[in-house]
Amino acid sequence: MKSAKIYGKAPLSVALIHGGPGAAGEMAPVARELAKEGGILEPIQTATSIKGQVDELKENLENGGAFPFTLIGFSWGAWLAFILAAEHPRLVKKLVLIGSGPFEDKYAAQIQETRLNRLSEREKIEVEALSDILNDPTAKDKDSAFARFGALFFKADSYDPIEDEFEDIDVRIDIFQRIWPEAAKMRQSGRLLSLGEQIKCPVVAIHGDYDPHPAEGVQKPLYKTLKDFRLIILKNCGHKPWAERKAKDEFYNILKTEVFG
């Protein structure tokens, strides 16, 4: 099997797909909580192309347990799970999309502005400086800069965060810089959304009402594309529900019901 972690006892029937791209380990708190109910697979994405990550995830699922799986994808992982379910429907019995990015470009325009407006002037200056480092081909230790960048946006993305739920994440800027431009082009061209026409399983989206990624950008495109789709909005909740003081318990109750019945 490719790089993956296992929580709980077999059979493994649930897989958690992390975001980023290049943020391995961020779903560990969710894996530990769900493992109280059943076996959990946490694949780690290492490939630097979308096809590579889909192939890597496919191999993990085929070798990791008794498929079809329930796939729980967070942020970029929601898109990756969506693509995998379209291209390999036999491997997936249900999709749960947490904090997904919007599926059409027109809904994405305000995300960065919303985030920056939630930061102090000092933090905005730091974001600009970090962006310069990340875009400089000669800069050293970009992973550390990327981690700090992520920490600032975690603050902007959160309503009332629980700091000890901010898991140690193995950040990989090289993965992000290769995958994200390709993913953005998929959305812009309409190819990402059109893959939904091939998805046969039920799809549930869980989204915080404070998430800078607008829920409307998930709800409207997927309602018109998928055969079986529902959206659940969490109040007083940002991008990462399991790290939200006011939404965490409701999030886990909903997630466990959706996954284990």
Beta bridge partners of 73: 17, 97
- Among 259, 261, 251, CA closest to 15: 259
Q: What percent of the chain clears pLDDT 70, i.e. is strictly above it?
A: 97
Per-residue pLDDT at 198 exceeds 80:
yes
The pTM for the full model equals: 0.93
Beta bridge partners of 207: 233
Instruction: Give the model's pLDDT for residue 142.
Output: 86
Query: What is the C-alpha to C-alpha distance for residues 91 and 71, in angstroms, rounded to an integer?
Result: 9
Identify the CATH class of 4-260.
Answer: alpha beta
Instruction: Give the model's pLDDT for residue 1.
Output: 47
Query: What is the C-alpha to C-alpha distance for residues 19 and 26, in angstroms, rounded to an integer?
Result: 8
Three-state DSSP class for residue 133? helix
Identify whether the C-beta of residue 226 lies closer than 8 Å to the C-beta of residue 242.
Answer: no
pLDDT in tens, 213-239: 999 999 999 999 999 999 999 999 999
DSSP 89: G
Helices (H), the chain: 28-34, 50-64, 76-87, 111-117, 121-134, 142-157, 173-189, 191-194, 216-225, 248-260
pLDDT in tens, 160-189: 998 755 566 888 889 999 999 999 999 999
Identify whether the C-beta of residue 234 lies closer than 8 Å to the C-beta of residue 209.
Answer: yes
Query: What is the C-alpha to C-alpha distance for residues 185 and 201, in angstroms, rounded to an integer?
Result: 25
Per-residue pLDDT at 64 exceeds 80:
no
